């Protein structure tokens, strides 16, 4: 595998792994009133670190295995000879900075399903007789879960402490039928002296089935007399409230009698499947069980209709759990985004962040980018896992220069790419030996590495990029964005497209990459008409079976040399793309119908393509003869010594090029005769 240290600039490498710690932070046993100068006198909070003035060369250690729900904002700069290092100490897993807060209590969003509220006169709930009143029967038009029932009650005089039970009963041949659910309210605490609705909530959620008739019943157990009682229901002639029933139940005799013309006033509210909290300002993310980011939608109605989604609107933040269950009782945790970034270099220079993981930030736009935000100069981030963010895992943002993200992991950026390089003053930065991917179903924009916003001179090398899912492994765009070098990377898995260069980006070099086992029905490398100065050199790209080409090109000034393309279709060059291009010393294999296309015409063989395009004079269409189980060249491969010298000194495996008389075609230089 490629060794980036042999070719890349790695600033103040000797300072990245300090031998001693100057300041200690322990979230469990520490105290901010301590000196912080030893493990037994450690600080407790990241806030203490953010507020401290560290001298150049200081080494701040966060204890391994611990978690802080705080953001790190670097307070000062180091120097080239004495960078400030923030790292981990002790044994165990990396310390973690979490950008979210646990929300333990949610309010059910409800809708009124049945409304029996048409009268201003009342009956009496005569509690000493343990008498039940049944409301007029309801028959749901659709099945729904009851959240609560509001019953209209009036307390007259002084009623002693006691209880009222509200029950839902299904109709059977023998009234009153089976009890579906029971709720209890304490009279003294719940019923005012003025008339009003009292809510009854159920410990276990009753589900009413479409087409089945149900009755709402009340019962009490307090003492009463002629002037101290509770009134409930309504009085009217049977002809006024057709179907109205008054059912009396006596605990001693357990007999039922019917009294037409009496009924209750009540409202039945159903659970919609949405839950909410009050939120004065917008919330941009919520995670279920720490690893499942709910999808953002555009209305409460869509939250209800789509389990596993959320929206902030009208001063409330709404969610629907993925299993359409109760977030208060389903045993899962729900965390809402709090911090825009977990780690910010705060524009400081010569900073090393080593082995501090971060997760669940909820940055909302390009200014609040999530995960690790670099805007200073000559900074290094390494051995950091940054994951489960609303936006990016790592961002080289406006003003960042000569900085490195190295040996890190970034995955599951839910609305954009794990890595971004952005801004007109962002330049000469390096991403290397870093793993990036998106889990299935993560995002509508699954791109892994994105360079844009007029940033320039960005190198991505030695990385493993896999499963961009609905996006690209690499995207580069915007006017004045230039100088991208993408080399020695291992790229594989499911994607929409592999590489997309568009919107005036220029000066792109894609070389010595191993792109294999690609699952995509689209073209792999898109070169739009408004870009230029593109070099695609010594790559091994394998994606058998697709009906779209490896390269889809409408841009001028493109050089494609020394590549192995294994695909059913190879190259499509559209009008305008023929200007200033040079294809040569490539090896094609696996072609099917229309394997080449030149200015709208399809060609079935390399020979007819060569004749039509005047390209690929020294190229082959044949089996590259890979070593079994590998993409290295086997003995007798036609790719050996068949490449052109394009000035590259090392192959994907960090071997010298050329080994023989001329470079080999593809990403791997064969090291045996």
* Domain CATH for 153: 2.60.120
Residue 619 within a domain: no
Q: Is the confidence at residue 282, as pLDDT, over 50?
A: yes
Residue 545 within a domain: no
Q: Of 60-64, 226-230, 359-363, which range is least confident?
A: 226-230
Do residues 175 and 215 both lie within one domain?
yes
Upstream peptide bond of 176 is cis (omega within 30 degrees of 0): yes
Do residues 162 and 240 both lie within one domain?
yes
Q: What is the residue whose two structure tokens read 């699952």?
A: 519
Do residues 197 and 255 both lie within one domain?
yes
Residues 156-203 have pLDDT tens digits of: 666 666 777 787 877 664 454 567 778 877 665 556 556 678 888 888
Mean residue pLDDT of the chain comes to 86
pLDDT value of residue 124: 41
Residue 145 within a domain: yes
Do residues 192 and 293 both lie within one domain?
no
Strand boundaries in 392-513, DSSP class E: 394-396, 404-406, 409-413, 419-422, 427-432, 435-437, 449-452, 456-461, 464-466, 472-476, 482-487, 490-494, 497-501, 506-511
Do residues 152 and 126 both lie within one domain?
yes
Q: Is the confidence at residue 346, as pLDDT, over 90?
A: yes
Q: What is the distance between the alpha carbons of residues 118 and 560, in angstroms, rounded to a whole number?
A: 80
Q: Is the confidence at residue 336, as pLDDT, over 70?
A: yes
| C-alpha closest to that of 99 among 357, 306, 312, 299 | 357
Do residues 292 and 254 both lie within one domain?
no
Do residues 223 and 300 both lie within one domain?
no
Do residues 246 and 182 both lie within one domain?
yes
Residues 515-548 have pLDDT tens digits of: 999 998 899 999 999 999 999 999 999 997 778 9
pLDDT value of residue 471: 86
pLDDT value of residue 439: 87
Which has the higher per-residue pLDDT, 263 or 16?
263
Residue 194 within a domain: yes
Q: Is the confidence at residue 120, as pLDDT, over 50?
A: no
Residue 226 within a domain: yes
Do residues 249 and 327 both lie within one domain?
no
Q: Does the predicted model carry a pTM greater than 0.75? A: yes
Residues 541/515, Cβ–Cβ less than 8 Å:
yes
Q: Which residues of 351-370 are buried (b: 16+ CB within 10 A; e: fewer)?
A: bbbbbbbbbbbbbbebebbb
Q: What is the mean pLDDT of the segment spanning 443-471? A: 91
Identify the domain boundary among 336, 368, 388. Answer: 336
* pLDDT-derived band at 83, boundaries 50, 70, 90: very high
Where does residue 630 rank: exposed (0-12), middle (13-18), buried (19+ CB within 10 A)? Answer: exposed
Q: Is the confidence at residue 228, as pLDDT, over 80?
A: no
* pLDDT-derived band at 281, boundaries 50, 70, 90: confident
Task: Please write down the HEC assignment for all residues of 63-127.
Answer: ECCCEECCCEECCCCCCCCCCEEEEEECCCCCCEEECEEECCCCEEEEEEEEEECCCCCCEEECH
Identify the domain boundary among 313, 336, 359. Answer: 336
Domain limits for position 308 = 274-336
Q: Of 39-53, 283-297, 469-483, which range is least confident?
A: 283-297
Do residues 294 and 183 both lie within one domain?
no
Residue 89 within a domain: no
Identify the domain boundary among 336, 355, 381. Answer: 336
Q: How many domains does the chain have?
A: 2
Residue 405 within a domain: no
Residue 144 within a domain: yes
Do residues 144 and 260 both lie within one domain?
yes
Q: Is the confidence at residue 291, as pLDDT, over 50?
A: yes
Do residues 259 and 149 both lie within one domain?
yes
Close Cβ partners of 331 (under 8 Å, ≥ 6 residues apart): none
């Amino acid at each position: 595998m490629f060794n980036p240290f042999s070719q890349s600039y790695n600033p103040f490498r000797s300072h990245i792994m300090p031998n001693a710690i100057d300041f200690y932070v322990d979230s469990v046993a520490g105290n901010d009133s301590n000196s912080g100068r030893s493990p037994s006198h450690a600080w407790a909070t990241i806030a203490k670190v953010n507020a401290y003035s560290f001298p150049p060369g200081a080494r701040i250690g966060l204890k391994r295995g611990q978690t802080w729900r705080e953001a790190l904002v670097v307070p000062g700069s180091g120097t080239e000879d004495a960078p400030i290092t923030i790292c981990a100490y002790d044994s165990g897993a990396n310390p973690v900075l979490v950008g979210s807060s646990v929300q333990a209590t949610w309010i059910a969003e409800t809708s009124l399903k049945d409304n029996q509220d048409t009268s201003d006169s009342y009956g009496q709930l005569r509690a000493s007789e343990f008498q039940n009143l049944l409301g007029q029967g309801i028959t749901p038009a659709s099945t729904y879960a009851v959240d609560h029932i509001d019953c209209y009650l009036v307390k007259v005089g002084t009623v002693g402490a006691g209880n009222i039970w509200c029950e839902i009963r299904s109709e059977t041949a023998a009234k009153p039928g089976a009890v579906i659910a029971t709720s209890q309210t304490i009279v003294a605490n719940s019923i005012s002296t003025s008339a009003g609705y009292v809510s009854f909530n159920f410990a276990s959620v009753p589900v009413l089935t479409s087409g089945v008739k149900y009755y709402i019943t009340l019962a009490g157990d307090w003492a009463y007399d002629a002037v101290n009682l509770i009134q409930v229901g309504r009085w009217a002639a049977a002809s006024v409230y057709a179907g109205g029933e008054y059912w009396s139940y006596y605990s001693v005799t357990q007999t039922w009698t019917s009294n037409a013309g009496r009924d209750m006033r009540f409202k039945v509210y159903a659970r919609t499947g949405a839950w909410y909290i009050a939120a004065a300002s917008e919330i941009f993310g919520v995670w279920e069980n720490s690893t499942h980011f709910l999808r953002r939608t555009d209305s409460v109605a869509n939250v209800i209709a789509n389990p596993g989604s959320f929206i902030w609107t009208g001063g409330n933040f709404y969610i629907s759990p993925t299993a359409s269950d109760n977030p208060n009782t389903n045993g899962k945790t729900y965390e809402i985004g709090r911090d825009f970034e977990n780690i910010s270099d705060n524009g400081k220079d010569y900073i090393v962040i080593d082995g501090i993981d971060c997760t669940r930030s909820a940055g909302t736009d390009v200014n609040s980018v999530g995960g690790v935000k670099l805007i200073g100069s000559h900074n290094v981030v390494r051995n950091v896992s940054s994951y489960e963010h609303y936006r990016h895992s790592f961002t080289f943002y406006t003003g960042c220069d000569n900085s490195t993200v190295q040996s890190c992991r970034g995955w599951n950026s839910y609305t954009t790419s794990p890595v971004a390089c952005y801004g007109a003053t962002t330049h000469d930065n390096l991403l290397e030996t870093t793993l990036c991917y998106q889990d299935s179903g993560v995002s509508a924009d699954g791109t892994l590495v994105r360079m844009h916003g007029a940033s320039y001179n960005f190198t991505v090398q030695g990385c493993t990029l896999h499963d961009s899912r609905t996006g690209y492994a690499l995207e580069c765009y915007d006017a004045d964005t230039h100088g991208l070098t993408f080399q020695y990377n291992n790229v594989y898995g499911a994607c929409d497209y592999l590489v997309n260069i568009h919107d005036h980006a220029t000066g792109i070099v894609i070389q010595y990459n191993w792109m294999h086992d690609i699952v995509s029905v689209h073209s792999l490398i898109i070169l739009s008409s408004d870009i230029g100065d593109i070099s695609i050199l010594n790559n091994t790209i394998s994606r058998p079976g697709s009906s779209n080409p490896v390269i889809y090109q409408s841009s001028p000034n493109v050089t494609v040399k020394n590549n192995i393309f294994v695909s059913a279709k190879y190259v499509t060059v559209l009008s305008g793309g023929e200007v200033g291009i040079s294809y040569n010393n490539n090896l094609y294999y696996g072609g099917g119908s229309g394997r080449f296309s030149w200015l709208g015409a399809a060609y079935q063989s390399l020979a007819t393509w060569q004749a039509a395009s005047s390209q690929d004079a020294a190229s082959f269409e044949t089996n590259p003869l890979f070593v079994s189980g590998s993409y290295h060249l086997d003995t007798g491969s036609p790719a050996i010594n068949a490449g052109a010298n394009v000035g590259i000194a090392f192959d994907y495996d960090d071997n010298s090029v050329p080994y023989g008389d001329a470079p080999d075609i593809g990403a791997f230089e064969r090291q045996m005769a």
